[in-house]
Amino acid sequence: METVSTNRSHGGMQGVYKHQSAETGTEMAFSVFVPDHAPGAKLPVLWYLSGLTCTHANVTEKGEFRAACAQHGVIFVAPDTSPRGDDVPDDEGYDFGKGAGFYADATQEPWAKHFRMRSYIETELPALIAQQFPADMARQGITGHSMGGHGALTIALRNAGRFRSVSAFSPIVSPLSCPWGEKALTGYIGGERAAWREYDACALIEDGARVPDMLIDQGTADGFLEEQLKTHLLSEACEKAGQSATIRMQEGYDHSYYFISTFMAGHVAWHAERLKA
Ligand SMILES: N[C@@H](CCC(=O)N[C@@H](CSC=O)C(=O)NCC(=O)O)C(=O)O
């Protein structure tokens, strides 16, 4: 692992790092905020998965998480959203290819070689974080935005017991039921829709997966709400399955980091309460 930059901020250290990923076969960048802590102490970890077109930098620069993470003693990890580099195939749309890995392991060509974001986020990067940072991997939470909210929900639902807390900002709740999801999963996984269910939070809940609780914030003025995000499908799936969830429709907020940063401190506090219990 190589350090790209470190900056002292809010009583902690914000770092950006890169490493050679065995999963994606590319160099991958990520950011980590580590609050000040006693020598030898291990801190809980909050993962933040970003949305379409993002790198680690969007939330690192605009997410306003550091004061809350320092206050609650929580490490904040922000990975990239796809493999990068000249050898990596891409699509002309912003919603597929680079910047749009959908937290899936692709099985279709030409994507299968590099687009292994599920294994990267579920397995490879956690091992690196555990090795390189003062992280207590028995106390992990996960959150994310939009495509990253989809990633947070599906990764937590598939890995029962790994995350003590899961939340999301304006998540894609059902890739099976929206154009972004249909394009990405057809391209990465192929046309057999039954295989998509493990990448769909509503389908996972329908199929019996559970998390202890979830917190969702969704803006009512979000231009993607009706066609892509469809928050009501998650409300219905949770209600039908008896999955505990707090789903808050936030009046007048859009899809941007102005929305995310407004509610970020509240999400960090919500995770911290569960990670410290
Ligand atoms: N047409 C836009 C669409 C991209 C966009 O809105 N991306 C969101 C995430 S959408 C779901 O995953 C985002 O977080 N953008 C980065 C930001 O800093 O706001 C475009 O191409 O910009």
Q: What is the DSSP string of the chain?
A: -EEEEEEE-SSEEEEEEEEE-TTTSSEEEEEEEEE---TT--EEEEEEE--TT--THHHHHHS--HHHHHHHT-EEEEE-SS--STTS---SSTTSBTTB-TT-B--STTTTTT-BHHHIIIIIHHHHHHHHS-EEEEEEEEEEBTHHHHHHHHHHHHSTTTEEEEEEES----GGGSHHHHHHHHHHH-S-GGGGGGG-HHHHHHTT---S--EEEEETT-TTIIIII-HHHHHHHHHHHT---EEEEETT--SSHHHHHHHHHHHHHHHHHHHH-
List pocket residues of ligand 1, CB cut-off 6 Å: 51-54, 58, 94, 145-147, 255-257
- Model-level pTM? 0.98
Q: pLDDT per residue over 114-173, tens digit each?
A: 999 999 999 999 999 999 999 999 999 999 999 999 999 999 999 999 999 999 999 999
pLDDT in tens, 231-266: 999 999 999 999 999 999 999 999 999 999 999 999
Q: Closest ligand 1 atom to the C-alpha of 54?
A: 16
Where does the pLDDT of residue 43 fall: very low under 50, low under 70, confident under 90, or very high at 90 and above? very high
Give the distance (Å) from ligand 1 centre to CA of residue 24. Answer: 23
